[in-house]
Chain A
Amino acid sequence: MATTITSTLETTTARIADADQPLLKVDGLSVTFFTPTGAVHAVRDASFEIKRGEVVGLVGESGCGKSTMAYAIMGYLPGEPEVGGAVYLDGQDMAELGPAELRALRGNRIAMVYQDPALALNPTMKVGLQVLEAISEHLDLDAAQAAERMVELIESVGLPDPERIAESYPHQLSGGQQQRIVIAMALACDPDLLLMDEPTTGLDVTTEATILDLVADLKGRVNAGILYVSHNLGVVARIADRVVVMYAGQTVEEAPVRDLFKDPRHPYTVGLLSCVPKPVADTGAVTRLQSIQGSVFPSAQADPGMCLFSDRCPMATDRCTGEAPHPASVSNSHESRCFYPDKVSTDLWDESVEREAPHENGKEPTLTVKGLHRVYGKWQRKYLFFGPKVKPPVRAVENVDFNVGAGRTVGIVGESGSGKSTVARSIVGLVPRDSGDVELRGEELPAEADNRNADQKGSLRMVFQNPTSSLNPKLPVRHNILRPLQKFTDMSPSEREERACELLESVGLDASYMDRQPLQLSGGQQQRVALAAAFAGDPELIVADEPVSALDVSVQAQVLNLLEDHQREKGTSYVFISHDLGVVRYVSDEILVLYAGHVAESGPAEDVLSTPSHPYTEALLSAAPVPDPDATPTPIRLGGSVPKQHEQFEGCFFASRCPRKLGDVCDNTPPPVQTSPGSPTHEIHCHIPLEELARLQDGSVATPAWSPLP
């Protein structure tokens, strides 16, 4: 593939006029949008630089202006915002460019990769054509050369059989493949600057890992500066050379990646770092997660002339609330927008509150799930009611067993399509099961919620991923909490009112929130209201389906702590579903690893996450980004995605993607259940003997060969 790409690379290098000049210089940038409800200060004061061949990570919570900044660099902002400061590309002030010059730059010298590749690609146009468009618009190539380059590009982003992929429509590709196409499109003209806006946020952790490998590979291959926007510190730690932290539209800290993670000099950075639970087996999490109280300084407020972080900062002084700090150099190439950078230390937030021990596993489990099966759809025949069977039903969950003890938490992990949500929904009766039992304290529950009595419904409550859509937006908070109290308790109206206030307080919201509308609340506040509503009937078990995935890390920590406090106090059991291994590790006593509707591994949390593990667990662990630039995860990568299970597996459910596949036995025989000698409840469904797995996974053995796609 190399010829055309390298030749254009040489011309790229020739473009560099002044070696010392940064490729991109953002200088005091501010962006203010004017909306009917007032001015929104999306970016207030941002300054940083990107050099060629450098990956700069841009982190911060949502609402801090990260994406706006990326689009401001592109000169693509909706409406007619007021833009202050300047953006220079190779010394050229971008504001001076006319529309035609800007267009000549876009997709050519500056290219972008987007958060959701499924939405960023035109659904009715073949992907090859979409890549080709970017090439032929800017490069002076004839049709055959352009087509050749298109195929080379698709191949260069790790997609096998590029000719076939080029002929596909976006929906025929997996999320990871779609994102590779978007990246190929961005690379079409060998850009000088690549802007990546949360490019892996919508992807599964295993896919994310392969995309990050690709970005790391690009860094060595193309001579572009890369701005990598992400809310995920682990991702940034893995690929960035330098990191810029944004808070409330300001850049608050900038440092080389190691300095930032090991020696942060702004309290906000420290706060972000201490909120993240780490997906490591042996950090047995004895101390509580720290959280940054309050929320991001609202973008609707004008600059108050003080430190915008002061209201959430544990070390704020009168000076911080009376005067605005400016970025100041702390050491060579390390800047912080704090008056007291020397006082900042990594234990700033760490009050080292020890966690209370979880409840002991009692004799009688609260919830028992036995042999759960769930199939979606029916066999389809060629001619409606006649003819051969052409399409089998989808098996969502097959033979899943587990128990949840009183006051204990069972975490369920797995990629999308692994059947996590189906298990959750079957337990609460939102999805009827086809066979198997769900028992609450030994009593079998009807399959559908409609057939369960109020007591059974009140004992099993669910918390959903997205509180904005799970709370009724037309009804005030009051109703959302009073309703379950009315259904599941026999309190009088005044008692209910009182209890509702107590519940709100228990989730850290005062009684004044009772009459607010859900849409007036932030995502974290909404999720707390959802928790209060779930706690309302004093349930014995709460099924939480990705309850913190839509939340920022600081809010995530608050919600996790709330859940834990409630459990310790009331002895409530949890089924906690998440794709984030760190979160699951932090909250769970037992872990269930699901793959394609099958249990791959189950047992006590620390046993599941340490060796020996099922090869799938191992791959998940290896893929999970760790917020530590020194972490050296084993490069085990899974290609493709979870199979859509149209037919029962002959052999092992994981055989098609397993990096440690033995051979025919995996394809033909279902895996046996192996139990660790030391931990009788730790079960691994795999053909490989446990001693062999342990030996392979202790790192002494060469890493397995893997291909980006099977």
Chain B
Amino acid sequence: MTRFLVRRISLIVVTLLVVSTAIFAITEILPGDVAQMVMGQGATEQNLKHIRETLGLDRPAPVRYLDWIGGVVRGDMGDSFVQKIPVTQVIAPRLANSLILAGFAFLVAVPSAVAIGVWMGVRQGSKTDHAVSVGSLVAISLPEFVTGVLLIIVFSSFLGWLPSSSAILPGTSPLTRPLILVLPTLTLTGVLFAYIMRMTRANVIEVLNTQYVRTAVLKGLPMRRVLLRHVVPNAMLPTISVIAVNMGWMLGGLIIVENVFAYPGLGQLLLTAINTRDVPLLQTLALIIAGTYALSNLVADLSYGALDPRIRLT
């Protein structure tokens, strides 16, 4: 176990290093820089040079990168080029908003997907099963910006039940207006639900055909007990890794959903950071996203190890 953790955590550190180098390199290659973005097209060469000097952009790229990494190691993520305040201060409220949205989506999608997946697995081949299968395929195929817009058309424009924009005043929490969370949550849930539901259904079908389930049935156990004690725990094992992968994947969905609904979260911030070449902000956001991916996979492996007695993490 120690061995496993040592190996995995060192790998995560390496991954984050590679990600940060890659992001840094890409911002170097892209045309335009933060000075140009801040000053606009009319800026004089003098002005640009001044800004580059104050931000330290006149130094060679490797020096700037090492300088930044040095800061990260000391816990200093740097200042935003554009907003001139520490990156952490820019990110903190946005991170909270995104976590709220992602948390809701997760809480809605996972339990319902697992429950319906088990039910469809047991009722394999029935009309309901076919209907749900087709529905989930549609949900997987539609990108978030389509589902999001469809939901807006139906629930805000047509029915007028829910607000179409989820924008909130800076400094206020989305929890004060829970209604604005409904549509973004539903949009995010769609794909997540479909994936987990299909995975659960497939695993339940597989486990139902195992010999140990036959043993349980021939012990004379009632079907409900066979399902709860023998089928579901075993069917959940592979599903857990799907859930974990989806957690990382959901971050990608967040970026789109937040922009569709004008919701002030990390996704929106990321887009701004890219447009303004705000490298310190961009780097930090990239690290958060990559770190979430890596950690969710680690959590998946650890929970797998905890739930399946056959797995020993070494």
- Residues of A whose CB lies within 8 Å of any CB of B are 74, 76, 103-108, 111-112, 114, 116, 119-125, 133-134, 137-138, 169, 171-172, 182, 185, 188, 380-384, 390
Contact A138 B2 (CB under 8 A): no
Q: Are B215 and A114 in contact (CB under 8 A)?
A: yes
Are A123 and B234 in contact, with the CB atoms below 8 A? yes
Which of B3, B214, B215, B217 is the one whose CB lies under 8 Å from A382? Answer: B3
Contact B234 A112 (CB under 8 A): no
Report A267 CB to chain B, min CB distance, Å. Answer: 35
Chain B positions 87 through 129: 1 when the CB is less than 8 Å from some CB of chain A, otherwise 0: 0000000000000000000000000000000000000000000
Query: In the complex, A104 Cα to B218 Cα: how many Å?
Result: 10
Give chain B's interface secondary structure class. Answer: helix
Query: Given A104-B220, A124-B233, A125-B230, does the pair A119, B211 have CB atoms closer than 8 Å?
Result: yes
**A214 CA / B212 CA spacing, docked (Å):** 23
Nearest chain B CB to A228 CB, angstrom units: 17
Which residues from chain B sit less than 8 Å from chain A, CB to CB?
A: 2-3, 6-7, 10, 210-212, 214-222, 225, 229-230, 233-234, 237, 307-310, 314
With A104-B220, A121-B212, A125-B230 already in contact, 10 other A-B pairs whose C-beta atoms are closer than 8 Å: A103-B222, A107-B220, A107-B221, A119-B211, A121-B215, A123-B212, A123-B309, A124-B233, A188-B219, A384-B6
Nearest CB in chain B to that of A195: its residue: B218
Contact B220–A138 (Cβ < 8 Å):
yes
CA distance A272 to B26 in the complex (A): 75
Residues of B within 8 A of A104 (CB): 220
Q: Which of A107, A122, A188 contacts B212 (CB 8 A)?
A: A122
- Beta-carbon contact of A383 and B212 below 8 Å: no
B-side contacts of A380, CB under 8 Å = 3, 314
**A40 to B233 CA separation, bound complex (whole angstroms):** 35
Chain A's closest residue to B307 (CB) is A124
Q: How far is the CA of A123 from the CA of B308 in the complex (A)?
A: 8
What's the minimum C-beta distance from B51 to chain A, rounded to whole angstroms? 47
CB distance from A146 to the nearest CB of B (A): 14
**Does A124 contact B6, Cβ atoms closer than 8 Å?**
no
Chain A residues with CB under 8 A of B215: 112, 114, 120-122, 182, 185
* B3 partner, pick from A105, A171, A383, beta carbons under 8 A: A383
- The answer to whether B237 touches A124 (Cβ under 8 A) is yes
Closest 9 CB pairs of A and B: A107-B220, A107-B219, A106-B220, A119-B211, A169-B309, A122-B212, A134-B219, A120-B215, A171-B310
A425, chain B: closest CB distance, angstroms: 25
Q: Give Cα A668–Cα B220 distance, bound, in whole angstroms.
A: 52
B309 touches A76 (CB 8 A): no
A114 x B234 contact (CB < 8 A): no
- With beta carbons under 8 angstroms apart, the residue of B7, B218, B225 that contacts A112 is B218
Return A497 CB to nearest CB of chain B, in Å. 43
Residue from A103, A124, A171, A383 having most chain B Cβ neighbours under 10 A: A124
- Tell me whether B212 and A133 are in contact (CB under 8 A): no
Docked-complex contact A120 and B211, CB < 8 angstroms: yes
Collect the chain A residues with CB atoms within 8 Å of residue B307's CB.
Answer: 124
Question: Are A382 and B2 in touch, CB under 8 angstroms?
Answer: yes
Does the CB pair A122–B218 fall under 8 Å? no
CB distance from A112 to the nearest CB of B (A): 5
Instruction: State how many angstroms separate the Cβ of B55 from the closest Cβ of chain A.
Output: 41
Q: Which residues from A are CB-within-8-Å of B222? A: 103
Please tell me which one of the listed residues B6, B230, B314 contacts residue A122 in the complex, with CB atoms under 8 A apart: B230
| B220 in contact with A105 (CB, 8 Å) | yes
A119 in contact with B210 given A74-B218, A106-B220 (CB within 8 Å): yes
Taking CB as reference atom, which chain A residue is nearest B310? A171
Q: Kindly provide the distance from the CB of B169 to the nearest chain A CB, expressed in whole angstroms.
A: 50
Assembly CA distance A111 to B219 (angstroms): 7
Distance A116 CA – B214 CA, assembled complex (angstroms) = 12
A481 to B11, CA, bound (A): 48
How far apart are A340's CB and chain B's nearest CB, in angstroms?
A: 41
